A and B are shown apart, each in its own frame.
Chain A
Amino acid sequence: MSDPAPTSSTTTTGGSADNSGGSEAGGVPIILQGVTKKYPGTDAAAVDNIDLEIGAGEIVMLVGPSGCGKTTTMRMVNRLIEPTSGTISIDGEDVLSLNDVKLRRTIGYVIQQIGLFPHLTIEQNVAMVPKLLGWDKSRISTRVEEMLAVVGLDPHEFAHRFPRQLSGGQQQRVGVARALAADPPIMLMDEPFGAVDPITRTRLQDEFLNLQQKLRKTIVFVTHDFDEAVKMGDKIAVLDKGSRVAQFAAPEEILTSPADDFVAGFVGQGATLKRLQLERLDSLDLHQSSRSTHDGVTPLPVRSTLHDVLDAMIADGRDELPVEKDGQLIGTVTLEDLLDRVRALREEADGKLSRRGDETGGVA
């Protein structure tokens, strides 16, 4: 389940092959080479010689402790911060050769504080970038309606409101709609769902993942929540001080074989459970059940994660549960199946680790 090498910079249509869905990438690749940022008056570089290749249509999560340089790294991509040295290219073009203001109009930008324009209506907020790009009026208004609907806000209800008349979660949606409005190939998102409650955050995450299935943008997503990184990322870059890339890999790989103690520490407790969140029932061979009903037990949808399955087994006190697809029972799954799967994952990981002679973290 490990990733192929990062896609080459020359690809324009392929995107990363490991993404499910199979639609074409709407995004373009981003490549950082030897990028360093030293703020004036500081000793250590905030970002020290980072190399990172982000494939077209991928969500790359930047995680790491506070102050490690995630925001700085991200903001150099749209030149809100100018690198001290190194090159950043987007779709093969060096960003430093482009007009910075125009460049930013082609890159969606979402921040934790949202930053809606308080004196403009929701409609005007979302219309801002298309207006900057000189779209005509009717195209803009169609687009605004479409974008509000995409982020789950009824245009008739919300278009003419002002930001202060919206809840935090609704404002966050408007922030995403504003960033998406001009259909940029790239999105930079700095802790975009940080300012809302956990339930709203989960909803926003799910909706955003659904959206991304269709849009296939190239997304750089900063978070310090490792679980969010696991959930959202095609790849995760675990960063240490100075944006040192401690590990850059798919979530599965980071969970099963963290590159070093720093990464292991960041993964934290419960790596196996987190790993189960990434596996779905349809990856297991189900047992054919002779019975057609399972007296009062709600069958699990086949799209459930193994984590959900385990949770349901514990909750129901059973070691076997029925599985349904489109309302039809298609078989059963047992606790033994889950344990087998975990064993297989461990062996996979041990295989990788034995090369380094490392020991796995203290997760039973």
Chain B
Amino acid sequence: MDGLPFFEYVSLFRDDLIFATQKHLLVSLYTLLIATVVGIALGLLVYRRASLSTLSIGALAIGFTIPSIALFGLLVPLLGTGLAVGFPVLTMYGLLPILRNTIVGLNSVDKATLDAARGIGMGRLRMLWQIELPLAWPVILTGVRVGAQLIVGIVVIGAYVGVPGLGELLFDALQNLGAVNKLNQALAGTILVTLIALLLDAAFVLVRRYTTPRGIRV
């Protein structure tokens, strides 16, 4: 048989595993941050016009169907490998659910509430900040959460074109599956990706809890 027992493997390669996990988490968080800012900003530009909203949501739905591996492959010749192609592609995928949910969330705010807000003398910006965004927030946040899951998964695939993270370990393990400790490496990588995803999800549950206005908490 090849290699060490799993736990011995983990303690021996501890530093490598932690480093790969850190890279994975950081790449995910940075792209998620950019995707969130850009997604919400685009949503704010678009949501007031019904036709633009419909168009965007349709376009986003198509975006979801493009396999990430294909997009990486297409863009490497243009942008190069590693983070150069990783950042734009990851941001793009993270953007899809965030933009969609921003548009949907802002448009689903009760019309009577908005009518009353305007009718008592709230200006555009104040209405957006004090009424529309807080009411749409749970929906927007759900978009960010889905975006986070999407990104964490696609970072793995990105290793194929040199995006740093746990994907590097996994690809290496799969390519050399017969070699010493490679099964352990694949297993450790998989577990760590899952842990990151679960951790982020738990974080969102907390964020959601503490940022949803009390009056609309279910």
Write the residues of chain A forming the contact surface with B, with a CB cutoff of 8 angstroms. Answer: 78, 80, 101-106, 109, 111, 113-121, 128-129, 132, 162-164, 175, 178-179, 188
Contact = CB atoms under 8 A, between A and B. Distances in A.
Interface stretch (B25-33, B109-117, B156-164): B109-117
A164 B117 CA distance: 17
Interface of B: 110, 112-123, 126, 131, 134-135, 213-216
A121 B214 CA distance: 9
Contacts of B134: 119
A104 B119 contact: yes
B214 A117 contact: no
Contacts of A121: 215
Contacts of A101: 121-123
Contact of B120 (A113, A129, A162): A129
Contacts of B122: 101, 128, 132
Contact of B121 (A115, A129, A188): A129
B67 to A, nearest CB: 39
Given A104-B121, A109-B120, A162 B112 contact: no
Nearest to B215: A162
B216 A115 contact: no
A117 B126 CA distance: 13
Contacts of B119: 78, 80, 104, 109, 111, 115, 188
A115 B112 CA distance: 5
Contacts of A175: 116
B197 to A, nearest CB: 30
Given A105-B121, A178-B120, A116 B214 contact: no
Contacts of A103: 121
Given A109-B120, A113-B110, 18 more contacts: A78-B119, A104-B119, A104-B121, A111-B116, A114-B112, A114-B116, A115-B116, A116-B116, A117-B116, A117-B131, A118-B113, A118-B216, A119-B215, A119-B216, A129-B120, A132-B126, A164-B215, A178-B120
A175 to B, nearest CB: 8
B135 A118 contact: yes
A119 B120 contact: no
Contacts of B214: 119, 162
Contacts of B113: 115-118
A234 B117 CA distance: 29
A78 B114 CA distance: 15
Given A101-B123, A102-B121, A105-B121, A119 B116 contact: no
A129 B110 CA distance: 20
B95 to A, nearest CB: 26
Contacts of A132: 120-122, 126
Contact of A111 (B115, B123, B135, B213): B115
A238 B131 CA distance: 36
A129 to B, nearest CB: 5
A101 to B, nearest CB: 5
